[in-house]
Amino acid sequence: MFGYYLDLALRSLKRNRVLTVLMVLAIAVGIGASMTTLTVMHLLSGDPLPGRSAHLFYAQVDADPTPHGGDHREPSDKLDYRSAVDLWSAHRADRQTLIVDSQLKATAPKANMPALMLTMLATTTDFFPMFAVPFQYGGAWTAQDDAQRARVAVISADLNDKLFGGENSVGRTLRLRDSDVRIVGVLKPWRPAPQFYTVAGGRFANGDTAGYFGKPEDVFVPFQSALEINQGAFQQFNCWAAPATPGHLENAPCNWVGLWVELDSAAKTAAYRGFLDNYAQQQKALGRFNYTGTRLRDLMGWLDFNRAIPRDVKLQTWLAFAFLGICLFNTVGLLLAKFLRRAGEFGVRRALGASRRAVFAQCLTEAALIGFIGGVGGWLLSLLGLWLVRRQPTPYADLAHLDGGMFLITFVLAVVVSVLAGSLPALRASRVPPALQLKIL
Amino acid sequence: MHFRHILNALGRHRIAVALLVLEIAFSCAVVCNALFLIGNRLERMQRPTGVDEAHVVEMFIGSVTPGSAEAVMAQTRTDIAALRAIPGVANVAVVNQTLFGNSFSASGVGLSDDAKAPRISVTQYMGDANLADTLGLKLAEGQWFKPDEFITEEQLEAGRSGLPVIITKALAEHLFPGESAVGRTIYAFGANRVVGVLDRLVQPRDSGPTESYGYAMLFPVTLPYTEGAYVIRVKDAMRRDAVIQDVLRTLKASGPLRLISPKYAFTLESQRAKYYRNDRAMAWMLVGVCVLLLVVTAVGIVGLTSFWVAQRRRQIGIRRAIGATRGDILRYFQTENFLIASLGIALGMVLTYGLNLLLMAHYELARLPGYYLPVGALVLWVLGQLAVLGPALRAARVPPVVATRSA
């Protein structure tokens, strides 16, 4: 029966080409717009570390003792150096890592290349297993390297391609500012979205958080080594008094270090919360803190708190779905016109014994076929839309590709939308009284 | 006109009419709000900064070998002298942060030294005696810093207080509403006496609530080039790019090996364009959505009206046969569309308002000004009339002889 309905639907679509084209176009444009924005939304709102994110937490304490540093309802987004190092070296979590990023000049090993500006992440060895960072060559440095301030580095796939043409560069040296570091590992292409581990300050960003979706750093260096190598080039998140020497923040009254911990069970999480609270109380007793607020948000909670999805992207998604809604109304109207014009044909079918249900099914088949063709159009339009997104000057532009899941959703959405749109006209068509129509014929 | 006949006829197609009304209403709501959003973005992109942007060029230098503080300061003086000698350069200064740049320096500012006094975060510009002239800043009240008031970075870091300050009019009005700020004291770096009020100078980037965009302070600090950037005033805005080339050449010749690259030399106007590029992209996207939406709505109107014309061929023929002119038929469909569009627009106004409330709640948007409503209404009326014209003309061409034929 379905085959027969499909045949009827095809014939009907061919009969009034203009109307068919209009309907297909309306659905295609609506689907194209919504799938483009939905894909971007999906890319930006996803879990950067599915399966692991629930065990990763961002720790905060409130080191600023002055009353006017914010309202103290929330601790600062970053830690001061002393708290960060205290908490990290206590090793109370399953894994823990410090995060500071900075920019520095690097000289390429090939003499004919000009100096490069690179981004460097100062971190500790746990960073790599904690965040499931994939290696192409070599591996992470050791805890001993962290302790001995070894001059070693892990570099990104991009930098390895740029400097070493993509070959195994483990053991080669790289000159970071005035220090030579030995490369111990090369990452595979790695592009978490957002670059969650440096996310901070979202509540001050006025919704402009596109910067969170940039590429990971070019060079990863043991925390203390990096602080020595790039002395004076560090940016504070905030200070409650002017630092004695800008850029030298170890002893400065400034927040600038991030601490991520991995806690594998709820009991450990609760224990760590207690540990943070104790630390804050103890520091208050020592006179270093005035405020004892602490936070331990899990990864997705931290992204939510920072409202990591750019506001414009959300707005675009709303807009696209309003647009799809209007296309839906449009399709309902056009299908209604189309079906009612064929009232005579349905009258004959009813008179020959077709049930209302059969007419209804026939009409829905036609609507679904239009939806499917519209879906193909919508898929092509969303490819065009994503191509346009990739040409935008946003940091996440390179991420905008349609994956398999979204490809399927495109067609499901198109067919569902058109079947929904077709159901009212189909209901009306199935109610055509046979006798009246036959008389007119 | 025969409104009643039209309404009677429409009553026979209640569902189709309801669909058209809804489609027009939703289009009206989305188009009005989208136009408002576009207006907002355009307004944002055109905010003045208080700086003579056309004549200002910025140059950042990465320093490979900074050397001692004295050496860097000496190098800064050498650079400035060399830059001044370039024909086409009117003035040169060093500033700690540039408009639309990446760095943002701010301090808590209050009206009392008391730690519990309320404070707001205000951005601070620090620069030498040439900064005001280089940027083309205009003083509204009071006076510029005196030459002996400029201190060095070391003196600032040593915690020297009592530094005079120049604040913007917007900040002055916020701190001292209805009074003159000149001669008053604010507390930022210790106690700072306000010596002048600037017409306008804005934050380097948006931070905090919208109204604080115009809050800024200016301190008399002579900085080395490593703590900020060179800002250069050109004599002729048309020759900016040539001056940038001269600046690069001069700086490369003037000192030790440093990272001097055309990538770090900008005109302020290019920085503005870059800063607002997302707003521009968003505005264009909204324009695209509006156009597509109107096209889709027009398609719906054309489709349904065509269907009605086809359905009513015989009636049209009868009306023609009993004396209606082509013009009568044409006007009939135009009036019909006008009625439907008006219904849609009326409902659309309510939806527009609702959508605006939703956007206000989620996107900190302002209330939609009333004049967007008639604009949206006009757009949809015109669109409706244009869309109906084709089918209505076809209807007007139906010959009277159709009346004599059976369907």
* Residue whose tokens read 């892990």: A154
Are B232 and B331 contained in the same domain?
Answer: no
Are B151 and B14 contained in the same domain?
Answer: no
Chain B residues within an 8 Å CB radius of A28 = none
Q: What is the model's pLDDT at position B187?
A: 87
Residues of chain B with pLDDT > 90, as a percent, come to 40
Residue A8 pLDDT more than 90?
Answer: no
Residue B1 pLDDT more than 60?
Answer: no
Are B271 and B283 contained in the same domain?
Answer: no
Containing structural domain, residue B113: 53-275
Choose the final residue of a domain: B275, B291, B321.
B275
Are B192 and B94 contained in the same domain?
Answer: yes
Are B291 and B266 contained in the same domain?
Answer: no
Residue B154 pLDDT more than 60?
Answer: yes
Higher pLDDT, A353 or B93: B93
Strands A179-187 and A152-155: parallel
Express the helix, strand and coil content of chain B in percent, nearest 5 each: 55, 15, 30
Is the separation of the CB atoms in A158 and A140 below 8 Å? no
Are B8 and B61 contained in the same domain?
Answer: no
Considering chain B, what is the average pLDDT of its residues? Answer: 87
Q: Which 3 state secondary structure label does DSSP give A132?
A: coil
Best mutation target, B13, B124, B274, B285, to test chain A (most A CBs within 10 A): B285
Spell out the residues 6+ positions from residue B74 whose beta carbon is closer than 8 angstroms to its own: none
Are B88 and B186 contained in the same domain?
Answer: yes
Over range A396-410, report the average pLDDT: 86
- Identify which of A206, A320, A336 has the shortest CB distance to residue B16: A336
Residues of chain B with pLDDT > 70, as a percent, come to 97
Nearest-by-CA chain A residue for B120: A68
Q: How far is A432 from chain B (nearest CA, A)?
A: 14
Are B162 and B308 contained in the same domain?
Answer: no
Q: How far is B235 from chain A (nearest CA, A)?
A: 32
Are B118 and B215 contained in the same domain?
Answer: yes
Choose the final residue of a domain: B275, B306, B340.
B275
Are B153 and B268 contained in the same domain?
Answer: yes
Are B27 and B133 contained in the same domain?
Answer: no
Q: Would you call B281 and A326 a contact, using CB atoms and an 8 Å cutoff? A: no
Q: Would you call A337 and B16 a contact, using CB atoms and an 8 Å cutoff? A: yes
Write b or e for each residue in A128-141: b if 16 or more Cβ atoms lie within 10 A of its Cβ, otherwise e: bebbebebbbbebb
Interface of A with B in 178-217 (CB under 8 A): 204, 206-208, 210
Residue A439 pLDDT more than 70?
Answer: no
Residue A156 pLDDT more than 90?
Answer: yes
Residue A419 pLDDT more than 60?
Answer: yes
Q: What is the model's pLDDT at position B95?
A: 93
Contacts 24+ apart (CB under 8 A), A405-409: A406/A35, A406/A38, A406/A39, A406/A42, A407/A379, A409/A35, A409/A38
Choose the final residue of a domain: B250, B275, B300.
B275
Sequence length of chain A is 441
pLDDT in tens, B70-104: 888 888 999 999 999 999 899 999 999 999 887 77
- Identify which of B30, B115, B310 has the shortest CB distance to residue A68: B115
Q: What is the model's pLDDT at position B35?
A: 92
Is the separation of the CB atoms in A231 and A247 below 8 Å? yes
- Segment holding A149, helix H or strand E: none
Domain count, chain B: 2
Q: What is the model's pLDDT at position A246?
A: 65
Spell out the residues 6+ positions from residue B406 whose beta carbon is closer than 8 angstroms to its own: none
The terminus-to-terminus CA distance of chain A in angstroms comes to 26
Cα(B34)–Cα(B15) distance, rounded to whole angstroms?
Answer: 28
Residue A277 pLDDT more than 60?
Answer: yes
pLDDT in tens, A282-309: 999 998 888 888 999 999 999 989 988 8
Number of Cβ within a 10 Å radius of residue B151: 17
Choice among A35-39, A42-46, A435-439, B134-138 with the minimum mean pLDDT = A435-439
Spell out the residues 6+ positions from residue B322 whose beta carbon is closer than 8 angstroms to its own: none
Are B74 and B130 contained in the same domain?
Answer: yes
Q: How far is B61 from chain A (nearest CA, A)?
A: 12
